[in-house]
A = this chain, B = another copy of it.
Amino acid sequence: MSPDPGRAFAVEPWVVREPRLDLDRMGQVESVFALSNGHIGLRGNLDEGEPHAMPGTYLNSFYERRPLPYAEGGYGYPESGQTIINVTNGKLIRLLVEDEPFDLRYGQLRRHERVLDLRAGTLTREVEWASPAGRMVRVRSTRLVSLTQRAIAAIEYEVEVLDAPALLVLQSELVANEQLPSRDEADPRVEAALTDPLVAEQHRCDEAGATLLHRTRRSGLRVAAAMDHEVHGPEGVKVTSEATEDIGRTTVIARLEPGQTLRLVKYLAYGWSSRRSLPALHDQVRAALAAARYTAWEGLCGEQRAYLDDFWQTADVEIDGDAELQQAVRLAVFHVLQAGARAERRAIGAKGLTGEGYDGHTFWDTETFCLPVLSHLAPDAAADALRWRQSILPLAYERAEQLGLKGAAFPWRTIRGQECSGYWPAGTAAFHINADIADAVRRHVAATGDVVFEREVGLELLVATARLWRSLGHHDSAGEFRIDGVTGPDEYTAIVDNNVYTNVMAQQNLRVAADTAARHARAAAKLGVNAEEMASWRDAAKSMRIPFDEVLGVHPQAEGFTHHQVWDFENTPPEKYPLLLHVPYFDLYRKQVIKQADLVLAMQLRPDAFSPEQMRRNFAYYEALTVRDSSLSACTQAVVAAWTGHLDLAYDYLAEAALVDLDDLAGNSDHGVHIASMAGTWTAVVAGFGGMRMDDGGIVFAPRLPPALSRISFGLKWQGRLLRVEIRPDEAEYRLVSGPPMRLRHHGEPLALADEPQVRPIPALEPVEPVEQPYGRGPKARHPGS
């Protein structure tokens, strides 16, 4: 329980505790402690606003436009980008203790603790502070962003005077256009700063609350924020409110005797729209606020816990033998839920709503890393995310046409559907995102068996992406179907021919589109699909070129890759990583050096396309080239390491994926948590150690425990059932928690599961040749044996 001095947080199974305030880690902690329901996101800023690393209040898909400049422009370059912006801050509660503003940088902080409770869904804080004049107070606050009432956040704030009577003033605020710290724009991963993006439209106040309405200057979106308060205190408490264009303020004044407490409950409601009128939006947030007050604080907390109890019944992952990892995996699953729970047909961003990294954009990792997890743990959220993709199809059709292609070309990075990538070799050219979306559809349908979703949502996405591939590729004179000049997942290689990842994913996309269209012939016909077109998809899939290096016996990542010079890892000192900040793309692209799993991810997502021998050889080959300068790699390497028998290595990679934000491994957790790595953590456990795959024959497992762990247990939803799997060193247990009987396979052995749990022995692992990583780039070994 006593924290490692090198870490921000204490290790406990169900909570993340910050035992002391560390100004240097403030940004990381704000991200880890961010609360979100997928619609509203509040960074873990202190109630009083300062000190902070980055204040953050976000609404899903609420953005401002900004110009994208080019030293040398080109046809089809997007001229305008979209950037998530910090909206009206309603978290603020300032405190004055006898003329002294409560500010942790002054006076004496006698005790500071914050706790993110993963079962309660709250962030709690407890502080004892002596003002510079020596007056002692204790402040307790609890914050939640409601998972049940999408528009609502709430804060309970209590001040107790400890030593002598004191006059307290609480100022609970709404602040628009907060002053933000400036950012280091030299790092391409850091978002663009946008100053004062909100234009005031209306401000109102009543006795104990206020409402502010603003619109964005360029994107023309309207946002409303409203607050209301309950005050509990001694006799003579005075409550007043005021509002100006950018500030709403409720002021509570009370004189407290020692031991007395002033308690404030703040209800916050947010709403935004690109179309609704000022009065409509005003009324919408006031109604949400009324409902929240009606539910009351205790009611909101109760709903929150009930929602999470239900979630954890499915989603909990138990890990015995590594307390740090246990905590990290639960935090990871919690943040994935937060990112998607109530996104409701809007995008799930790479950082969720926990920070402004990557401008708040959504990339391919939502479909490749997040949705497969949500399809098993919170299927409605996954379905809604894919419905969002369906809703932006008109933009994707337009983009394809602009690029001279058929079907849909989804944006590489976006908030609302428009392409916002300003570097096409790693943006537009990364067409694999379209196959990744199709794969998420396929997995979701397999996981849920939801035929209505398949017909109404999945089919259109599959058809649109299959058409893209059919027009993007071509048959060469030997009859092979080639996809030239594209970029795969690995961003240290770009604009290549026949990237194996892209080709195997496109192949599956084409096949699944044809099969799905055949199953829903009438719906497919409405989309203009006919037998000829389906045949052309199947034909392209069948003749898809998959390059193979016969000399080395491995798949080249793309045509010619294995002929390139191998990066000089021995002479690359640690401070040169991440390489993209110290080496030109020119040099990275033409050498064998891999930022993130590419061919290895192809093996994870299309294991059917590789023989076990190929998988082993490929994994060993690419391990030696992969530097993991991206957080989208360790989880994939964990899965394939586990599949190829490198259990200790898989364990090390799992830990790296899981701890990315708790230990700030990428050094940029202050910009928001890494939702994909967190989702990949679950996948590393379930697909990696659990060996879970879904194929035409159903769901299969091939569980194996790494030596350091004594037990893993995980649950997942599968076609209307709740299934729990427990892996022990020598055996695995399958339990059907709810739902009708089912069949599965355990290490290839068919198994019928009904009321009774089934236990099966785990076959012995065949010894494997060790693999090596590039010099200095191996994962941190979690114990001497690994």
Contact = CB atoms under 8 A, between A and B. Distances in A.
Interface of A: 68-78, 81, 185-186, 188, 402-404, 421-425, 428-429, 474, 476-477, 482, 484-486, 494-495, 497, 551, 559-560, 563-565, 580-587, 589-591
A390 B480 CA distance: 49
Contacts of A580: 74-75
B584 A424 contact: yes
A71 B72 contact: no
A264 B421 CA distance: 59
Contacts of A76: 583-584, 586
Contacts of A585: 74-75, 424
| A-side interface mostly | loop
B564 A484 contact: yes
Nearest to A81: B71
Nearest to A589: B485
Nearest to A493: B485
Contacts of A71: 68-70, 77-78, 81, 422-423
B74 A587 contact: no
A72 B497 contact: no
Contact of A565 (B69, B474, B563): B474
A69 B424 CA distance: 15
Contacts of A188: 72-74
Interface centre among A474, A486, A580 (most CB of B within 10 A): A474
A559 B586 CA distance: 17
13 contacts: A69-B70, A70-B71, A74-B580, A75-B583, A424-B585, A474-B565, A477-B551, A484-B560, A484-B565, A494-B495, A495-B586, A497-B560, A559-B560
A403 B587 contact: yes
Contact of A584 (B74, B484, B559): B74
B403 A584 contact: yes
Given A75-B583, A425-B425, A482-B563, 5 more contacts: A70-B71, A72-B423, A75-B581, A484-B590, A560-B560
B565 A423 contact: no
A192 to B, nearest CB: 9
A421 B188 CA distance: 19
Interface centre among A71, A582, A583, A590 (most CB of B within 10 A): A71
Contacts of A551: 477
A424 B485 contact: no
A327 to B, nearest CB: 35
Nearest to A565: B474
Nearest to A496: B495
A484 B559 CA distance: 12
Nearest to A581: B75
Contacts of A482: 563-565
A169 B421 CA distance: 59
A400 to B, nearest CB: 11
